[in-house]
Structure 1
Amino acid sequence: MVSESVTIPSGGAVLAGDLEIPGGAHGMVLFAHGSGSSRHSPRNRAVASALRSAGFATVLLDLLTEDEEREDALTGEHRFDIGLLSRRLAHAIDWLERRPDTVGLPVGLFGASTGAAAALVAAAERPGRVSAVVSRGGRPDLAGDVLTEVASPVLLVVGGDDVAVLGLNRQAAEQLSGEVRVHVVPGATHLFPEPGALEEVARLAADWFREHL
């Protein structure tokens, strides 16, 4: 197991991340966190742990710098800047291509909340590198017109009781041009705190990445 804290350059910013590569990994999953969250999100860390158990390497990445996170906590100005977040995610994909131990691994993206929109835009910008996308309680609608350019297979996982977001996901699914599936977790709300809900998300993500990576 390779486990290290990493820094990834993106324009004038330096992004902090946690990289873990289990022995014999057959794919890499890069996480795009949602609004107000970070690489320390217990929900995404739980999913990442399950994916590593399934044989995937993971990168949990902060798409905002510490200064930007402080600003965002007060103003909320960065969390919906999908252009900024997707650009940094694309730079992280490029960074993986430059590492000898990750260059040969197919890449999947896992996005939560606004991070799902960033993941979809990055997939459209790096069509030759992103093999699959999974969204957990995401806002794919925020990707706008770029949805029609996403060729990667996309799995949209939404809580059955997250009514507004479920509607937005179904509308976005109609615009995606490639393979897409909407999976509803019955009784789950936006953050999937219900017993067994997050475990189902992890299982679904592992199955999707196993199929497409």
Structure 2
Amino acid sequence: MRDDPERPARPEAGAPQPVRITPLGLDGLLGVPPGARGIVLFAHGSGSSRFSPRNNFVADRLRDAGLATLLFDLLTEPEAADRGNVFDIPLLAERLAAATGWLAEQPTLRALPCGYFGASTGAAAALVAAATQPRRIRAVVSRGGRPDMANGWLARVECPTLLIVGGRDLEVLALNQAALARLTCEKELRIVPHATHLFEEPGTLEAVVEHARDWFLHHLGGGAR
């Protein structure tokens, strides 16, 4: 019998498996380690996809820590060809919320507490989506994010939010410092020394992993509400 990509089972070893998020037809990679304590959905930045090497690096380490991960394309291929969609934060937030709803329909996944990990423009989408689902989303982590693109929603975010920025990414750092002042939830800004926007410097992406892992384990690890 052919496997149905729309109805995923928990991969026994936690290795990412292809899934299709219905009804939108968005392609994703779902990895669920045994005894997962929560699940983190990734929102990639403009020009990226579910295959983002940096997001996959982070996702691999989160699974090692006992957290399930879902990386998926926020847009279909035809939609992504329109550059206007790539920066349409309300649209991207709707897609993230739709993927969260899809997870809630999966019998093996619905009980897992959910968090969002957003990179660059994806961080803005994660913040907006979290603001619209205060009872469902337990935590948000932003890597080199653009929270200014979610400006009108920042005060409505209720879940604990961690902003991670490179110490040499000065423009984005200033934007995150301003956003931190507008957030009214539990919040923290962590600066990775010597890192630029893409965290390409040795050891800097590993620092992102440590900050994100600890944040998610603290806020997702208590089980479903």
TM score, norm. by length of structure 2: 0.90
Structure 2 residues without counterparts, runs of 5 or longer? 1-9, 221-225
Runs ≥4 residues deviating over 4 A = none
| Alignment partner, residue 50 of structure 1 | 61
| Alignment partner, residue 188 of structure 1 | 195
The Cα shift of 1:145 comes to 1.1
| Alignment partner, residue 157 of structure 2 | 150
- The answer to whether the aligner puts 1:116 opposite 2:116 as a matched pair is no
The Cα shift of 1:105 comes to 0.3
Describe the SS at the equivalent of 2:57: helix
The Cα shift of 1:4 comes to 2.2
Describe the SS at the equivalent of 2:22: strand
Q: Percent identity?
A: 57
Residue 8 of structure 1, aligned match among 5, 21, 26 = 21
- Give the partner amino acid of 1:33: H
| Alignment partner, residue 32 of structure 1 | 43
CA deviation vs aligned residue, 1:144-191 (integer Å, no higher than 9, x gap): 211000000000000000000000001011111101100000110000
**RMSD of aligned Cα (Å):** 1.0
The Cα shift of 1:9 comes to 2.6
More strand by share: 1
| Alignment partner, residue 7 of structure 2 | none
CA deviation vs aligned residue, 1:48-79 (integer Å, no higher than 9, x gap): 0000000000000100111122x14xxx2112
| Alignment partner, residue 147 of structure 2 | 140
- Once residues 191 and 79 of structure 1 are traced to their aligned partners in structure 2, the CA distance between those partners, rounded to angstroms, is 18
- The answer to whether the aligner puts 1:201 opposite 2:208 as a matched pair is yes
- Once residues 116 and 49 of structure 1 are traced to their aligned partners in structure 2, the CA distance between those partners, rounded to angstroms, is 19
- Once residues 171 and 9 of structure 1 are traced to their aligned partners in structure 2, the CA distance between those partners, rounded to angstroms, is 37
Describe the SS at the equivalent of 1:77: helix
Describe the SS at the equivalent of 1:105: coil
| Alignment partner, residue 5 of structure 2 | none
| Alignment partner, residue 82 of structure 1 | 89
| Alignment partner, residue 41 of structure 1 | 52
Describe the SS at the equivalent of 1:64: coil
- Give the partner amino acid of 1:42: P
Describe the SS at the equivalent of 1:157: strand
Q: What is the aligned length?
A: 207
Describe the SS at the equivalent of 2:211: helix
The Cα shift of 1:8 comes to 1.1
| Alignment partner, residue 175 of structure 1 | 182
- Once residues 142 and 103 of structure 2 are traced to their aligned partners in structure 1, the CA distance between those partners, rounded to angstroms, is 21
Describe the SS at the equivalent of 1:50: helix
- Once residues 130 and 90 of structure 1 are traced to their aligned partners in structure 2, the CA distance between those partners, rounded to angstroms, is 10
Describe the SS at the equivalent of 1:87: helix
- Once residues 174 and 150 of structure 1 are traced to their aligned partners in structure 2, the CA distance between those partners, rounded to angstroms, is 13
Describe the SS at the equivalent of 1:78: helix
- Give the partner amino acid of 1:16: D
